[in-house]
């Protein structure tokens, strides 16, 4: 068995032991971004985790002799195309990432998880299937009915259809049915350094001290690593020359083993695994749990993560309130009353609101505008009316006559796990009720955020109260996108509504 494969199997054994509780080795976490303080507090409560390279915010509020080693698992948030920060990205060895997710879900059980199909950094022997000189890219088949896109440079003239080429997954696919981006530059990662097939000495952008950069530059240039180059990781600036040289020598042995594996590869397929990446949508309850955790460290407004994740217009106000108000006032301030602080010169809730709904695969769907009928920002609700312009405006499963002029009235309540839409004909006669299950609802001055859990309770004059969609939610649980606790919560919520409606229908 090769040294490289032995090393990888040893790492996998360590992480399996951690997950099953049979080992005391700690997993090093680097946590950055909006949720850093809250998640640092969460993981510090369990001795299985070691926080390294903490954020500036964490260093300011927690006095600790922090380690600056390289992490096993990285946790950060990923801004979407609107600049909003509702999604965590968790990357590292597969078993370690799954262990992190299990601990996160223990407090944030409504978080929605989507795993990337490809492992970043994994090495493959690929088969070139399509070459487009015009687009300057090739489609490379990786085995197991998978393929990736390899950008072509001028020096890649030798790449032809049917040729085999070793590739590394550089970036994962950006959507469910997309292809990962590949690179011909192979890498062998270590704790302090990464050996790369591109000859040069580079270093992390986080190493800003000029003296350290000069030291690492000279040390890298002094290493005899043949056709390989060195990228110094952030942790290298805190390690001695002796430790760094020892690691480089170990990585050189791994490069030799890797090259032998590539030369002996007879078929298309994976040569070495990489890091698994999970994208975690922080839903309403998860953000509330983070508020509670952060409040143990710093003055925190209820709704801190809800508003900060939404964008700067709210973030600036939240920062000001947390800076100026005493802690007791912060703890008792209603979440929605923040809207009054932001829009002090006008009605906090706009006359027209966009209904935004996320789907399990991560898509954000704008369901259009609804007219505000009434609201109470201190009680935490808003009622809206929407015209039903076409048959697609009605939820699936409602067996009602659909006519021009029909409309729906919906009341949304901050933090609740469902909303009820009442459907009416143009003459005002009642058509049906629809209770949609969602993670806790978030109301903003111009938007209402929902999550489509694919479960609802429906009733109409021809339909007795009925729960629909639980099978779809159970499938999401089998795919590890939602937790068992969330499924149980949705089942409990929907059964309570169905029971109430049946009682109302009983003479």
Instruction: Report pLDDT digits (tens) over 76-127.
Output: 998 888 888 999 999 998 889 999 999 999 999 999 999 887 888 889 999 9
Determine which of 83-97, 208-222, 342-356 has the lowest per-residue pLDDT on average. 342-356
Q: What's the mean per-residue pLDDT of the chain?
A: 87
Helix (H) or strand (E) holding 213: helix 210-221
What are 101-112's pLDDT values in tens digits? 999 999 999 999
Q: Using an 8 Å Cβ cutoff, are 152 and 161 in contact?
A: no
What are 185-212's pLDDT values in tens digits? 999 988 899 999 888 999 998 899 999 9
Cα separation of 127 and 268, whole Å?
6
What proportions of the chain, in percent to the nearest 5, are helix, strand and coil?
35, 30, 35
pLDDT value at position 360?
A: 83
Q: Taking residues 256-271, report their average pLDDT.
A: 88
CA 453 to mean position of chain CA atoms: 17
Q: Which tokens sit at 13?
A: 């054994």
Q: Is the pLDDT of residue 345 over 80?
A: no
Only one residue has tokens 């994208």, namely 279
Q: Which tokens sit at 343?
A: 């829009």
399, with CB counted inside 10 A (0-12, 13-18, 19+), is exposed
Cα separation of 303 and 334, whole Å?
9
pLDDT value at position 175?
A: 62
Q: Using an 8 Å Cβ cutoff, are 119 and 275 in contact?
A: yes
Cα separation of 384 and 375, whole Å?
9
SS3 309: helix
104: left (phi over 0), alpha (psi -120 to 50) or beta: alpha
64, with CB counted inside 10 A (0-12, 13-18, 19+), is exposed
Q: Taking residues 273-289, report their average pLDDT.
A: 93
SS3 202: strand
Determine which of 22-31, 145-154, 207-216, 471-480 has the lowest per-residue pLDDT on average. 22-31
In the chain, what are the domains?
A: 3-115+278-295 (no CATH), 123-274 (no CATH), 334-505 (2.40.380.10)
pLDDT value at position 346?
A: 66
**Residue 472 — pLDDT band, cuts 50, 70, 90?**
very high
Q: Is the pLDDT of residue 362 over 80?
A: no
pLDDT value at position 247?
A: 92
Cα separation of 216 and 206, whole Å?
13
Q: Is the pLDDT of residue 248 over 70?
A: yes
pLDDT value at position 148?
A: 92
pLDDT value at position 156?
A: 78
Q: Taking residues 278-291, report their average pLDDT.
A: 95
Nearest-5° angle of CA 308, CA 311, CA 313? 100
**Residue 328 — pLDDT band, cuts 50, 70, 90?**
confident
Q: Taking residues 303-310, report their average pLDDT.
A: 93
């Amino acid at each position: 068995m090769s040294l490289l494969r032995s090393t990888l199997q040893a790492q996998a054994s360590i992480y399996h032991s951690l997950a099953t509780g049979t080992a005391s080795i700690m997993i090093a976490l680097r946590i950055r971004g909006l949720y850093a303080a809250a998640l640092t507090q969460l993981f510090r409560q369990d001795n299985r985790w070691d926080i390294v390279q903490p954020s500036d915010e964490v260093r300011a509020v927690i006095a600790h002799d922090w380690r600056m080693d390289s992490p096993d698992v990285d946790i950060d948030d990923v801004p979407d195309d609107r600049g909003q920060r509702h999604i965590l990205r968790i990357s590292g060895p597969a078993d370690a990432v799954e262990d992190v997710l299990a601990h996160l879900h223990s407090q944030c059980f409504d978080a929605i998880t989507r795993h990337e199909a490809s492992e970043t950094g994994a090495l493959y022997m690929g088969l070139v299937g399509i070459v487009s000189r015009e687009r300057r890219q090739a489609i490379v088949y990786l085995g197991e009915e998978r393929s990736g896109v390899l950008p072509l440079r001028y020096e890649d003239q030798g790449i032809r259809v049917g040729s085999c080429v070793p590739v590394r997954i550089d970036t994962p696919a950006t959507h469910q049915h997309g292809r990962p981006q590949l690179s011909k530059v192979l890498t062998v990662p270590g704790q302090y350094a990464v050996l790369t097939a591109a000859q040069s000495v580079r270093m992390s952008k986080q190493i800003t001290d000029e003296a350290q950069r000069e030291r690492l530059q000279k040390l890298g240039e002094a290493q005899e690593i043949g056709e390989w180059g060195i990228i110094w990781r952030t942790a290298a600036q805190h390690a001695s020359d002796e430790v760094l040289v020892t690691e480089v020598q170990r990585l050189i042995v791994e490069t030799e083993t890797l090259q032998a594996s590539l030369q002996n590869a007879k078929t298309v397929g994976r040569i070495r695994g990489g890091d698994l990446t999970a994208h975690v949508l922080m839903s309403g309850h998860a953000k509330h749990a983070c508020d509670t955790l952060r409040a143990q460290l710093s003055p925190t407004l209820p709704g801190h993560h809800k508003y900060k994740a939404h964008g700067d217009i709210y973030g600036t106000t939240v920062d000001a309130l947390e800076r100026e108000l005493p802690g007791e006032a912060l703890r008792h301030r209603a979440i929605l009353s923040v809207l009054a602080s932001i829009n002090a010169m006008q009605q906090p809730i706009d006359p027209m609101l966009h209904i935004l709904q996320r789907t399990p695969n991560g898509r954000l769907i704008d369901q259009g505008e609804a007219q505000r009928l009434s609201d109470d920002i201190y009680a935490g609700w808003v009622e809206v009316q929407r015209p039903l312009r076409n048959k697609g405006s009605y939820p699936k499963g409602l067996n009602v006559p659909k006519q021009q002029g029909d409309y729906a009235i919906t009341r949304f309540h901050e933090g609740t796990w469902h909303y009820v839409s009442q459907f009416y004909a143009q003459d005002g006669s009642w058509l049906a009720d629809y209770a949609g299950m969602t993670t806790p609802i978030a109301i903003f001055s111009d938007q209402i955020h929902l999550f489509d859990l694919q479960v609802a309770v429906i009733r109409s004059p021809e339909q007795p109260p009925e729960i629909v969609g639980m099978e779809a939610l159970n499938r999401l649980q089998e795919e590890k996108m939602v937790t068992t606790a969330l499924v149980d919560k949705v089942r409990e919520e929907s059964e309570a509504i169905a029971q109430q409606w049946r009682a109302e229908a009983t003479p």
